[in-house]
Amino acid sequence: MKVIEVRNLRKSYPHHVAVEDVSFEVAEGEIFGILGPNGAGKTTTVECVAGLRVPDSGTVRVAGLDPHDDRDELRRVLGVQLQSAALPEKIKVWEALDLYASFYPHPADWEELMRRVGLHEKRDTAFARLSGGQRQRLSVALALVGRPRVAVLDELTTGLDPQARRDTWELVEQVRDSGVTIVLVTHFMEEAERLCDRLTLIDRGRVVATGTPAALVAQAGGEQRLRFRPSAPVDHALLLALPEVRSVTGSGEHLEVTGVGDLAPAVTLALAEHRVVPTDLRVEQATLDDAFLALTGRTLS
């Protein structure tokens, strides 16, 4: 069942077209990612979905509602955590949750929600004294306090250290498992690959591709790369004769082999038959960045 439908969305400003032509659908119960470099139009797109901006043209529906015309009804089904959102420095965690809960006729139990996001021990801590990860957890809690069917999370882990980022990912998965559909805006490839069931790639205000992470990576050719230092000289022809191998290049003492399928086992077996050991072996798979590069000629980072 489709819970969000966006068709030919366009939004411009006096000297800048932020969103040129964006269309996508989000199914109920999935984590749907909007991925692209900074300035691609991701935040403007979700602000139009959330009713915070009025599109110049195109249509947006969230659970059948027009975000602009049905703004009051939309608040009952959509929770939003925006990248630019901030709270007063002195407001305490419990005060923020209590305040936001007062905006809804049938809010969630914010005490339980506070425990669920791991902030119970910080209930009396002022916003200014929270760590980056704790602030993001509070943002998620505030987005959920109205019991939404859909939560929009914009650049949720920007500025977080690796451990806080992974903790936040686990929280997002828990939220989805509770039945909330999630729209995740990000420019982190690893985040999108880890969390998203499907995603759309946006560049310069346009959708360049939509699909599962695996399907989009396959559009990059699905190539793998092996890089290693052989224990003895290797004739490139030996490896090029393997059906999995597409190319072999040398760089100093190292060899780099690209190919498809069971590339690593095929190469290591062929080397072993000639008593060559591949030391410092590294295996690299194609990534979403490779897919974005293949589709746009630019990298995500």
DSSP result, the chain: -EEEEEEEEEEEETTEEEEEEEEEEEETT-EEEEE--TTSSHHHHHHHHTTSS--SEEEEEETTB-TTTTHHHHTTTEEEE-TT----TT-BHHHHHHHHHTTSSS---HHHHHHHTT-GGGTT-BGGGS-HHHHHHHHHHHHHTT--SEEEEESTTTT--HHHHHHHHHHHHHHHHTT-EEEEEES-HHHHHHH-SEEEEEETTEEEEEE-HHHHHHTTT--EEEEEEESS---HHHHHTSTTEEEEEEETTEEEEEESSSHHHHHHHHHHHTT--EEEEEEEE--HHHHHHHHHSS---
Q: Are residues 234 and 113 part of one domain?
A: no
pLDDT band at 84 (very low <50, low <70, confident <90, very high): low
Whether residue 265 is predicted with pLDDT greater than 80 in this model: the reply is: yes
pLDDT band at 61 (very low <50, low <70, confident <90, very high): very high
Q: Which domain holds residue 185?
A: 2-217
Q: Are residues 119 and 34 part of one domain?
A: yes
Q: Are residues 187 and 241 part of one domain?
A: no
CATH code for the domain in which residue 73 is found: 3.40.50.300
Whether residue 299 is predicted with pLDDT greater than 80 in this model: the reply is: no
pLDDT band at 301 (very low <50, low <70, confident <90, very high): low
Whether residue 55 is predicted with pLDDT greater than 90 in this model: the reply is: yes
Domain boundary among 190, 217, 244: 217
> Is the pTM for the entire model greater than 0.85?
no
Mean pLDDT for the stretch of residues 260-277: 92
- 114-120, long-range: CB < 8 A, 24+ apart: 114/141, 116/141, 116/174, 117/141, 117/171, 118/167, 118/171, 119/93
- For residue 90, the model assigns a pLDDT of 95
Q: Are residues 272 and 154 part of one domain?
A: no
Domain boundary among 217, 243, 276: 217
pLDDT band at 45 (very low <50, low <70, confident <90, very high): very high
Per-residue pLDDT tens digits for 177-192:
999 999 999 988 889 9
pLDDT band at 164 (very low <50, low <70, confident <90, very high): confident
Q: How far apart are CA 16 and CA 138, in angstroms?
A: 33
Residue 299 lies in a domain: no
Whether residue 222 is predicted with pLDDT greater than 70 in this model: the reply is: no
Q: Are residues 39 and 181 part of one domain?
A: yes
Q: Are residues 227 and 264 part of one domain?
A: yes
pLDDT band at 159 (very low <50, low <70, confident <90, very high): confident
Overall number of domains in the chain: 2
- For residue 255, the model assigns a pLDDT of 95
Q: How far apart are CA 227 and CA 256, in angstroms?
A: 4
pLDDT band at 290 (very low <50, low <70, confident <90, very high): confident
Whether residue 293 is predicted with pLDDT greater than 90 in this model: the reply is: no
Per-residue pLDDT tens digits for 190-214:
899 999 999 999 999 999 999 998 8
**Mean pLDDT (the chain, rounded):** 91
Q: Are residues 130 and 57 part of one domain?
A: yes
Whether residue 176 is predicted with pLDDT greater than 70 in this model: the reply is: yes
Q: Are residues 138 and 58 part of one domain?
A: yes
Q: Are residues 275 and 195 part of one domain?
A: no
Residue 111 lies in a domain: yes
Q: Are residues 257 and 211 part of one domain?
A: no
- For residue 218, the model assigns a pLDDT of 76
